A and B are shown apart, each in its own frame.
Chain A
């Protein structure tokens, strides 16, 4: 950690064990424009980490660097170092396919493939050769749907199109799809912003249940949501990581004036 302000807080995470993901002075550029400025942060397994901050501050951008989804944007460039279990994911020998199997992602808008529910879940395991047989695959599909809390709703219509589900179900389908490849980290970019409060509550429960197995990072615009689901909160502003700490500390006792302004709503 190079940011002296953060030293104390990170020390406070000593109970968390070694970092799953460790970002070191990461900067991201879109062409000439700097969208993320030397962000350093550690992310741990079995914790939900929330990224909060005003629109355009770079939360999505930073999240996407963690599984190299920025590679799909031609103008994007990443500086610095991101370690997954101590290995730099931007090193030239890194296999992006492997990386994304380990670091899954759920998007803001549910984006099921226009395939059957079953095929949506089976997609990842097939690509990565995780199932030896049809019954293996059936098992993975059932287990993933069960963990995503969707099994009971769809078990009788696995061959229906995934796009025929409701928005909330679609989002849980996308979460199920992500956990079907048995990732270590799940990144979620505003996973509830297209959902109503009931569906949102359902997803939040799910996130809480999943926490035991994965490192989860969630971007959200809702302070309440961050407070409800996360144990760690990182506040971003204008491409900088302003403050990072226990969620309870951030919300009750922020160190930074900007954080305080933002979470009390005095700030855009």
Chain B
């Protein structure tokens, strides 16, 4: 039986509770002439909440535990004694039986499974009926409890408000808890990885050549030196990309806030913001198919023989272009937030427009601009698609932008999609790399937000 039915039942209970409580409240008002503390609707919502929420919670719990109960029942069937004790056959047979019993599969391959279908189906039917009955009982009991509390002076409104607040709190916790879950799983795998590879070698080693097919028992820590990846990430994302994005982003922000006429600004700002929404894979194409070959040809023609068709500079340039709207929109906001009194003061001193911008507006907006740049860097170093398509796989520790370089994100993709088994250190290294990236971007965002906050306070 699908969970949707449980939810429908709970909604039905809630509806009944709502209607009953509302008419009860009306009755207080009209028959007894009492002054209600809360509107009848609030009484309705109060009882509806009581009828609905516990029932749904029970249904969710039941959905989680009932497969185990069914499994227990099936295993206690005499036919189950014929199953092998352990191993993959046992699991597949059971899974087949369950699938057929629940109707999601038609036939079975294993004759033993066919014998188990019937007990499984019976158990499922039994437990879903039990579940449904208990759901109704829970909802009903809670609803009745709530209903008996209704009085004319009952503070239903306050309680409903509190319920709404709790609901919102739970909703906001979902995202946070998910993040914690992600971090926890990253952390877990990272610790496993560091059980096989020395963290010092990982963080400071200069040679990156994991062999996903090698025997994990003979892992050589020295093959897991991630320094070239960190360097590639910083060189492409924080240096080359920023050399492009900071001046262009800043200048476009200055133009838009200070020079552009309002109509132009009205059109340009959304267009820039749309650019920020172009899928990165599109930029990746552009980097790999247009920019990289072009740069290689130009570099070769001026005599740089080492220029490769996958180069750090191609990826960095395109990434920089991708980040421009990001920098420009943050800079735009912080320049626009500088009080106009500041600008007027400077103009009244006889400063020209560009002097005012250079000497007053940008210094005053600097904290916001710096924060924008930090956020932009954290985006750039987490960017994957462009580097996968244009930067290459070779872990080079070099300052030559025309050579191929690789980044943390590239290697995460490569290691996770590689042929290595899941507990091979090469695969696990992806988690350690992800952890490093996570910590760095978190720190950047944290500092950026603090700077922005301090800066906001300064002007309020």
Give chain A's interface residues, CB within 8 Å of chain B: 67, 69, 72, 96-101, 104-105, 107, 109, 111-115, 123-124, 127-128, 163, 174, 177-178, 181
- B-chain residues with CB within 8 Å of residue A99 when the two chains form the complex: 350
Q: Distance (Å) between the CB of A53 and the closest chain B CB?
A: 22
Q: Complex: how many Å from CA A178 to CA B345?
A: 9
The verdict on A107 contacting B350 (CB below 8 Å), with A113-B364, A115-B363 known, is: no
- B-chain residues with CB within 8 Å of residue A115 when the two chains form the complex: 363
The verdict on A69 contacting B347 (CB below 8 Å), with A111-B341, A123-B359 known, is: yes
Contacting residues of chain B (331-362) with chain A, CB-CB under 8 angstroms: 339, 341-352, 355, 359-360
10 tightest Cβ-Cβ pairs between the two chains A and B? A100-B350, A111-B341, A105-B348, A101-B350, A111-B345, A124-B349, A97-B350, A114-B364, A127-B351, A113-B360
Contacting pair A127 B350 (CB below 8 A): yes
Q: Complex: how many Å from CA A158 to CA B63?
A: 71
Q: Complex: how many Å from CA A143 to CA B341?
A: 25
- B-chain residues with CB within 8 Å of residue A109 when the two chains form the complex: 341
- B-chain residues with CB within 8 Å of residue A69 when the two chains form the complex: 344, 347-348
- B-chain residues with CB within 8 Å of residue A174 when the two chains form the complex: 345
Q: Distance (Å) between the CB of A93 and the closest chain B CB?
A: 16
> What are 25 A-B residue pairs whose CB atoms fall within 8 Å in the complex?
A69-B347, A72-B344, A96-B350, A98-B350, A99-B350, A100-B348, A100-B350, A101-B350, A104-B348, A107-B341, A107-B344, A107-B345, A109-B341, A111-B339, A111-B345, A112-B345, A113-B345, A114-B364, A123-B346, A123-B359, A124-B349, A127-B349, A178-B348, A178-B349, A181-B350
Q: Complex: how many Å from CA A107 to CA B351?
A: 16
Q: What is the size category of the interface that chain B forms with chain A?
A: 10 to 19
- B-chain residues with CB within 8 Å of residue A113 when the two chains form the complex: 342, 345-346, 360, 363-364
Closest to A128 in B: B350
Q: Distance (Å) between the CB of B339 and the closest chain A CB?
A: 7
Closest to B349 in A: A124
Q: Complex: how many Å from CA A99 to CA B346?
A: 14
Q: Complex: how many Å from CA A109 to CA B346?
A: 14
Q: Complex: how many Å from CA A128 to CA B364?
A: 21
- B-chain residues with CB within 8 Å of residue A181 when the two chains form the complex: 349-350
Closest to B359 in A: A123
- B-chain residues with CB within 8 Å of residue A72 when the two chains form the complex: 343-344, 347
Q: Distance (Å) between the CB of A187 and the closest chain B CB?
A: 8
Q: Distance (Å) between the CB of B369 and the closest chain A CB?
A: 13
Q: Complex: how many Å from CA A98 to CA B345?
A: 15
Main secondary structure of the interface of A (DSSP, over half): helix
Q: Distance (Å) between the CB of B455 and the closest chain A CB?
A: 10
Q: Complex: how many Å from CA A164 to CA B354?
A: 26
Contacting pair A97 B364 (CB below 8 A): no
- A-chain residues with CB within 8 Å of residue B349 when the two chains form the complex: 100-101, 104, 123-124, 127, 177-178, 181
Q: Complex: how many Å from CA A127 to CA B349?
A: 9
Q: Distance (Å) between the CB of B103 and the closest chain A CB?
A: 70
Q: Distance (Å) between the CB of A263 and the closest chain B CB?
A: 30
- A-chain residues with CB within 8 Å of residue B364 when the two chains form the complex: 113-114
- A-chain residues with CB within 8 Å of residue B343 when the two chains form the complex: 72
Contacting residues of chain B (402-460) with chain A, CB-CB under 8 angstroms: 458
Q: Distance (Å) between the CB of B266 and the closest chain A CB?
A: 14
Closest to B261 in A: A74
- B-chain residues with CB within 8 Å of residue A97 when the two chains form the complex: 350-352
- A-chain residues with CB within 8 Å of residue B359 when the two chains form the complex: 123, 127
- A-chain residues with CB within 8 Å of residue B348 when the two chains form the complex: 67, 69, 100, 104-105, 107, 178
Q: Complex: how many Å from CA A68 to CA B355?
A: 18
Q: Complex: how many Å from CA A111 to CA B343?
A: 9
Closest to B352 in A: A97
Most chain A beta-carbon contacts within 10 A, residue among B344, B347, B349, B359: B349
Q: Complex: how many Å from CA A174 to CA B359?
A: 17
Q: Complex: how many Å from CA A186 to CA B291?
A: 57
- B-chain residues with CB within 8 Å of residue A111 when the two chains form the complex: 339, 341-342, 344-345
Closest to B340 in A: A72
- A-chain residues with CB within 8 Å of residue B360 when the two chains form the complex: 113
Q: Distance (Å) between the CB of A104 and the closest chain B CB?
A: 7
Contacting pair B363 A114 (CB below 8 A): yes
Closest to A71 in B: B347
Closest to A187 in B: B348
Q: Distance (Å) between the CB of A138 and the closest chain B CB?
A: 19
Most chain A beta-carbon contacts within 10 A, residue among B342, B345, B347, B351: B345
Q: Complex: how many Å from CA A96 to CA B346?
A: 13
- A-chain residues with CB within 8 Å of residue B342 when the two chains form the complex: 111, 113-114
Given A69-B348, A127-B355, 8 new contacts (CB under 8 A): A67-B348, A69-B347, A72-B344, A97-B351, A100-B348, A101-B349, A111-B341, A181-B349
Closest to B364 in A: A114
- A-chain residues with CB within 8 Å of residue B458 when the two chains form the complex: 114, 163
Q: Complex: how many Å from CA A181 to CA B364?
A: 22
Q: Distance (Å) between the CB of A169 and the closest chain B CB?
A: 16
- A-chain residues with CB within 8 Å of residue B339 when the two chains form the complex: 111
Q: Distance (Å) between the CB of B175 and the closest chain A CB?
A: 36
Q: Complex: how many Å from CA A46 to CA B179?
A: 70
Q: Complex: how many Å from CA A267 to CA B73?
A: 93
- B-chain residues with CB within 8 Å of residue A163 when the two chains form the complex: 458
Q: Complex: how many Å from CA A123 to CA B364?
A: 14
Q: Distance (Å) between the CB of A102 and the closest chain B CB?
A: 8
Closest to A119 in B: B359
Contacting pair A124 B344 (CB below 8 A): no
Q: Distance (Å) between the CB of B134 and the closest chain A CB?
A: 66
- B-chain residues with CB within 8 Å of residue A124 when the two chains form the complex: 349-351
Chain B 181-220: CB-based contact to A (< 8 A → 1; otherwise 0): 0000000000000000000000000000000000000000
Q: Complex: how many Å from CA A189 to CA B345?
A: 12
Q: Complex: how many Å from CA A112 to CA B346?
A: 9
Q: Complex: how many Å from CA A8 to CA B386?
A: 80
Q: Complex: how many Å from CA A20 to CA B408?
A: 70
Q: Distance (Å) between the CB of A185 and the closest chain B CB?
A: 12
Closest to A177 in B: B349
Q: Complex: how many Å from CA A113 to CA B352?
A: 16
Q: Distance (Å) between the CB of B363 and the closest chain A CB?
A: 7
